[in-house]
Structure 1
Amino acid sequence: MRESSAAPAASVVRRAIDWHIQLESSAGADHDRIRTQIARWCAEREAHALAWARIARLTGEFDDMVRQLPEPSASLDILGRAEREVDRRRAMKLMLGGLAIGGAGLWFARPRLPWQADYVTGTGEQRHLRLDDGTSIMLNTDSALNVAFTPDERRLILKSGEIMIESGPDTGSPHHRPLRLSCRHGMCEALGTRFSVRDEATYSQLSVSEGRVALDPLGAARRILERGETVRFDGTTSTSVTRPVLDPDAWSRGMLAVRDIRLARFLKELARYRHGVVGCDERIADLRLSGVFQLDDQARLLRHLERTLPIRIVSRTRWWVRAEPA
């Protein structure tokens, strides 16, 4: 079947949203019945699968798509094409806002448009930048950044994703200009330092590798972070993370370094660097692992998981991987 080049019709989008509402409001046998109906609906046409993939992406459920579609043999190929289409079309407004479904208005957030950011990375891509002031920046997978330098301030705006910053000397400026990073939940000011910030939508996370950083979280008091400290802030509170399960620096070296992390959480993290679906059977979701894993050879990484944990990796297509009990 040839890949679709057109966005789903409004009626198809409405139907996908309606399916999502039904699925979320159902339970027991009704929930299973709706899941089966969605699977069949996605298998009927590419436009159906594409609309469902977009709903799933916007609601943060793409990783669980196959669990919602329990007949993968009927729709895996079409879902793979739909996911590629989603990635290509991330510059489009993916959903119609304010569609009235059953008398209730359902609004979806407008996605980030890549051309509205100065620097972007795609899924699995990392990018190193050297700014005019000497500041070194590394953007992680699926990130967007704006740079707004003025005579009085060096301002960076993290629109989405994750960034590592090593502040530059700014020797070309006649006077000191503070280096500040804004994100959706606050602002960080470098005090001669190296630090990372991650946007998790519902919260942001700041980790200091060298020097100090002044954090001004929205809705909370300013605090100074020293080397080795990590803080999560969500617009209301800021909380220290004493033992992060993910090394906040490792991704900048092409690795995932984890400590006593749940398998489900690990696979969710791995999914950030892959196109398609990475699922985890609930029966093994609470298995724990620690170690350092190279991101540039994910096939080898998954084989290592099979050797060290009582699991098997099922890969039906390049777009669909799932961990199941051995």
Structure 2
Amino acid sequence: MEVSQTHGATAPFPGVADTPRVPPAVARQAVQWWIELKSKSADRHRLAAWRDWRDADPVHEAAWQRIEAISGRLAEVPAPLVKAALAAAPASMQRRRSVQLLTAIVVAGGTVMAARQSTPWRAWTADHVSAVGEQRTVPLPDGGTVMLNTDSAINVRFDAERRVLQLVRGEILVTTAPDAQQRPFLVQTEAGSVRAIGTRFTVHQRDDDDVGVGVLQGAVELRPADAPATVRTLQAGEATRFTRTGVQAAVPLDDNASAWSDGMLVASHMRLDDFLAELGRYRRGRLGCDPAIAGLQVSGAYPLADIDRVLASLTSALPVEVHTYTRFWVTVRPRARRG
């Protein structure tokens, strides 16, 4: 069934400044509607639901106008991205990634140029990417290695003057190698740079302006992006966090900070809500914790390759039960009283 996508008295998309801010959740809804209509799978009831959705909120209409702007400039959007959105199986990783990227375009204002500055876009186009739940090792041109933890992305930029890793998203374990040219080795993050000094270290970009660093061997120098005169040295056995404007005081490195590189999550008297938040990084969807049991403590070594097994083990060790609503929505709750 063909459908005219211009609905109501709406002008062509005029630009970001003239439209309301579109939250990511609404942008995703618009992308899902666009995919359904473009695939011509919508019957008259779905078309009516689409019109009702647009009429329900001016922000919905703004999101749709941005989708129409994208439709009018598909030459700017990478062909594989559009093809994956329309043709890939609904539950496939390819479809999920394409929807995520199209959503980033809508949030950015309907322009690919703006979306290219977003983390999802930069991760999609990165040199090396790990899937959720995956750890993978990448050999570097100088003989060193970098291991990517779950849902991570990096670019490798080595030239005659510098060796640079750009951490786009996630967490990495870097093992440097001696360099005959004595080029500096840097990890660039949104918060600033980490310069290696003959070392083995981890870098975790928690969000756009919060980066954690732990040194296993050697030392590193931290330089915040907006305070370049501030240089802090971190020695082996130390860890810290830094932002664009400063560096926190160093603390002792957790002995299990790099256990993920061996496929394990090691907890020692960890709060249950913190444990589940960490475990949730290694599976898709929502892994929630009822506030009533958030303070229960978890200790032990848990395999990251089998999250369902880990959750099952919690029900044996703690007074909790696991409620699975869908494959992507799981909550841990207090165990119900029997009898």
TM class, shorter-length: 0.5 to 0.7
Alpha-carbon offset, residue 110 of structure 1: 3.2
Decide which of 158, 171, 177 is 2:183's aligned counterpart. Answer: 177
C-alpha distance in structure 2 between counterparts of 1:238 and 1:266, whole Å: 26
2:214–2:253 contact (8 Å) kept in structure 1 = no
1:258-296 per-position Cα deviation (integer Å, ceiling 9, x unaligned) = 233221121111111111221111111222222221101
Structure 1 residue 167 and structure 2 residue 173: aligned? no
TM-score (norm. length: structure 2) = 0.66
Decide which of 219, 244, 249 is 1:212's aligned counterpart. Answer: 219
Which secondary structure state, in structure 2, belongs to the residue aligned with residue 240 of structure 1? coil
Alpha-carbon offset, residue 235 of structure 1: 1.6
C-alpha distance in structure 2 between counterparts of 1:324 and 1:251, whole Å: 26
Aligned to 2:118: 110
Identity of aligned residues (%): 35
Structure 1 residue 152 and structure 2 residue 152: aligned? no
2:151–2:169 contact (8 Å) kept in structure 1 = yes
Which secondary structure state, in structure 2, belongs to the residue aligned with residue 191 of structure 1? strand
C-alpha distance in structure 1 between counterparts of 2:140 and 2:300, whole Å: 34
C-alpha distance in structure 2 between counterparts of 1:286 and 1:9, whole Å: 52
C-alpha distance in structure 1 between counterparts of 2:138 and 2:169, whole Å: 17
Which secondary structure state, in structure 2, belongs to the residue aligned with residue 212 of structure 1? strand
C-alpha distance in structure 2 between counterparts of 1:19 and 1:132, whole Å: 40
Aligned to 1:28: none
Letter in 2 for 1:216: R
Moved more, 234-243 or 82-91: 82-91
Structure 1 residue 264 and structure 2 residue 270: aligned? no
2:126–2:155 contact (8 Å) kept in structure 1 = yes
1:246–1:256 contact (8 Å) kept in structure 2 = no
Aligned to 2:298: 289
Greater RCO (CA < 8 Å, at least 6 residues apart) = 1
1:6-44 per-position Cα deviation (integer Å, ceiling 9, x unaligned) = xx9999xx8984998xxxxxxxxxxxxxxxxxxxxxxx8
Aligned to 1:190: 196
Letter in 1 for 2:120: R
Alpha-carbon offset, residue 243 of structure 1: 5.8
The structure-2 alpha-carbon separation of the partners of 1:132 and 1:15, relative to structure 1 and needing over 3 Å to count, comes to closer
Aligned to 1:74: none
1:229–1:240 contact (8 Å) kept in structure 2 = no
1:204-256 per-position Cα deviation (integer Å, ceiling 9, x unaligned) = 00000111111112345211111110110012221135367793201111111
2:151–2:170 contact (8 Å) kept in structure 1 = yes
Q: How does 1:230-245 map to 2 (within 5 A)?
A: 230-240=239-249, 242=251
C-alpha distance in structure 1 between counterparts of 2:255 and 2:97, whole Å: 26
| Unmatched 5+ stretches in structure 2 | 9-19, 27-48, 54-58, 64-89, 110-114
Aligned to 1:222: 231
Aligned to 1:86: 96
| Unmatched 5+ stretches in structure 1 | 1-7, 21-43, 56-80, 100-106
1:158-198 per-position Cα deviation (integer Å, ceiling 9, x unaligned) = 01111110001234xxx211111110111111111100000
2:234–2:250 contact (8 Å) kept in structure 1 = no
- The structure that has the greater radius of gyration is 2
Aligned length: 253
C-alpha distance in structure 2 between counterparts of 1:300 and 1:131, whole Å: 34
C-alpha distance in structure 2 between counterparts of 1:239 and 1:265, whole Å: 21
C-alpha distance in structure 2 between counterparts of 1:234 and 1:303, whole Å: 37
Structure 1 residue 96 and structure 2 residue 106: aligned? yes
1:189–1:213 contact (8 Å) kept in structure 2 = yes
Letter in 2 for 1:94: A
TM-score (norm. length: structure 1) = 0.68
1:85-138 per-position Cα deviation (integer Å, ceiling 9, x unaligned) = 534533334362377xxxxxxx9x834224421111121122111111011110
1:245–1:258 contact (8 Å) kept in structure 2 = no
1:302–1:313 contact (8 Å) kept in structure 2 = yes
Which secondary structure state, in structure 2, belongs to the residue aligned with residue 216 of structure 1? strand
The structure-2 alpha-carbon separation of the partners of 1:253 and 1:291, relative to structure 1 and needing over 3 Å to count, comes to same
Letter in 1 for 2:291: E
The structure-2 alpha-carbon separation of the partners of 1:243 and 1:321, relative to structure 1 and needing over 3 Å to count, comes to farther
Q: How does 1:119-158 map to 2 (within 5 A)?
A: 119-158=128-167
Which secondary structure state, in structure 1, belongs to the residue aligned with residue 299 of structure 2? strand
Decide which of 309, 314, 338 is 1:305's aligned counterpart. Answer: 314
C-alpha distance in structure 2 between counterparts of 1:18 and 1:132, whole Å: 38
C-alpha distance in structure 2 between counterparts of 1:156 and 1:18, whole Å: 29
Which secondary structure state, in structure 2, belongs to the residue aligned with residue 165 of structure 1? strand
